[in-house]
């Protein structure tokens, strides 16, 4: 059994995937909100996801739970305390852009910049801020946000590319390349035969595997999705999401543009499920008690 520990509000990231592949995953992958980590379960692999959203108190509780299931002989992926969050990861990498908290912004800040929430995956809170005046005005509205220097990664066709790859245990799985004319790349808004070919070649060639493994190792993340770009031939890590959405291929009548990327979706789904099922190695004859110690009561559940 594989247990996917996640904040209660964000279980959708993997629940939809299980529903799409019930014949493979139902009964083998269980979504377990942190708030329901009590009782007894079968031995298995525990994925600690959504670590960015854990409060300090919840992080300590989750770390104790991790220690407990490890002592019971279970495998664990990610560590609530040791795995790096966004800010610490950015400070540990040698990107061509810099990230600052509000109290440490230097005099040589390179414009344009933008602001984003430290523990959220919703993207930028602002447009590009091109001068100190616009930056200080935005800072009044978002006083606690991270300050991120913008890095222009447009390709020879003027398109921004967002590469994404998963780490699931020991496997690094290239997932997609999204093309956009917008610097905030949330989805592909340029889909044609050329971009579809580039995207599938990315999956087949897996050109960044060694570098990505090294970045995941620095982050101490065993399960998650890295989003990144390429600048002057070097990987630029935007973030690693420990609770990434697993987007299943559509059913019904897909659009023409979707069909251009159908092979990408099918390849990614197959590789993702293979990697997940490799984690299901527990004997399942042994019971593991998740009961929260009495010293934690009356707050016997995680406050998330």
Kindly state the percentage of the chain with pLDDT values over 70. Answer: 92
Output the pLDDT for position 301.
Answer: 41
Question: What is the C-alpha to C-alpha distance for residues 125 and 114, in angstroms, rounded to an integer?
Answer: 7
Identify the band that residue 303 occupies on the pLDDT scale cut at 50, 70 and 90.
very low
**Lowest-pLDDT range of 78-82, 207-211, 261-265, 274-278:** 261-265
Output the pLDDT for position 258.
Answer: 74
Output the pLDDT for position 283.
Answer: 62
Output the pLDDT for position 237.
Answer: 98
Phi then psi dihedrals of residue 13, to 5 deg: -60, -30
Output the pLDDT for position 236.
Answer: 98
Identify the band that residue 293 occupies on the pLDDT scale cut at 50, 70 and 90.
very low
Output the pLDDT for position 259.
Answer: 79
Statement: residue 304 has pLDDT above 70: no
Output the pLDDT for position 265.
Answer: 87
**Lowest-pLDDT range of 57-71, 87-101, 112-126:** 112-126
Residue with the larger pLDDT of the pair 286 and 219: 219
Read off the pLDDT of each residue in 40-63 and give the average, rounded to a whole number: 94
Mean pLDDT of the chain: 91
Output the pLDDT for position 263.
Answer: 86
Identify the band that residue 262 occupies on the pLDDT scale cut at 50, 70 and 90.
confident
- Check: CB of residue 179 under 8 Å from CB of residue 191: yes
Output the pLDDT for position 212.
Answer: 98
Phi then psi dihedrals of residue 266, to 5 deg: -65, -40
- Check: CB of residue 10 under 8 Å from CB of residue 53: yes
Tokens at 233, concatenated:
């031939």
Give the tens place of pLDDT for each residue, 127-186.
Answer: 999 999 999 999 999 999 999 999 999 999 999 999 999 999 999 999 999 999 999 998
Identify the band that residue 191 occupies on the pLDDT scale cut at 50, 70 and 90.
very high
Identify the band that residue 256 occupies on the pLDDT scale cut at 50, 70 and 90.
confident
Statement: residue 42 has pLDDT above 70: yes
Identify the band that residue 290 occupies on the pLDDT scale cut at 50, 70 and 90.
confident
Read off the pLDDT of each residue in 231-243 and give the average, rounded to a whole number: 97
Residue with the larger pLDDT of the pair 36 and 222: 222
Output the pLDDT for position 122.
Answer: 77
Query: Starting from the edge strand earliest in sequence, which strands make up the sheet with 171-180, in order?
Result: 171-180, 160-168, 223-231, 234-241
Read off the pLDDT of each residue in 235-262 and give the average, rounded to a whole number: 83
């Amino acid at each position: 059994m594989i247990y996917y520990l996640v904040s209660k509000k964000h279980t959708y990231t993997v629940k939809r995937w299980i529903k799409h592949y019930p014949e493979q995953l139902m009964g083998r992958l269980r979504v377990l909100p942190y708030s329901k980590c009590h009782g007894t379960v079968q031995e298995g692999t525990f994925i600690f996801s959504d670590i960015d959203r854990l409060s300090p108190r919840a992080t300590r509780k989750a770390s104790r739970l991790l220690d407990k299931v490890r002592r019971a002989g279970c495998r664990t992926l990610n560590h609530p305390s040791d795995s790096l969050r966004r800010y610490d990861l950015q400070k540990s990498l040698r990107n061509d852009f810099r990230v600052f908290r509000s109290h440490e912004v230097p005099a040589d800040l390179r414009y344009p910049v933008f602001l984003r929430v430290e523990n959220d995956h919703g993207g930028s809170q602002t447009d590009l801020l091109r001068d100190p005046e616009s930056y200080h005005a935005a800072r009044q509205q978002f006083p606690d946000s991270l300050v991120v220097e913008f890095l222009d990664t447009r390709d020879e066709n003027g398109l921004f590319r967002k590469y994404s790859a998963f780490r699931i245990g020991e496997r690094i799985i290239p997932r997609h390349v999204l093309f956009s004319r917008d610097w905030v790349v949330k989805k592909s808004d340029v889909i044609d035969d050329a971009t579809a070919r580039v995207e599938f070649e990315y999956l087949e060639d897996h050109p960044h595997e060694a570098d990505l493994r090294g970045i995941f190792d620095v982050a101490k993340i065993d399960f998650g999705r890295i989003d990144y770009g390429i600048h002057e031939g070097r990987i630029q890590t935007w973030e690693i999401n420990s609770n990434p959405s697993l987007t299943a291929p559509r059913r019904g009548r897909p659009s023409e543009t979707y069909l251009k990327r159908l092979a990408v979706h099918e390849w990614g789904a197959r590789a993702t499920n293979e990697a997940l099922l490799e984690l299901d190695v527990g004997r399942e004859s042994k019971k593991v008690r998740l009961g929260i110690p009495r010293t934690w009561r009356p707050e016997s559940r995680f406050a998330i």
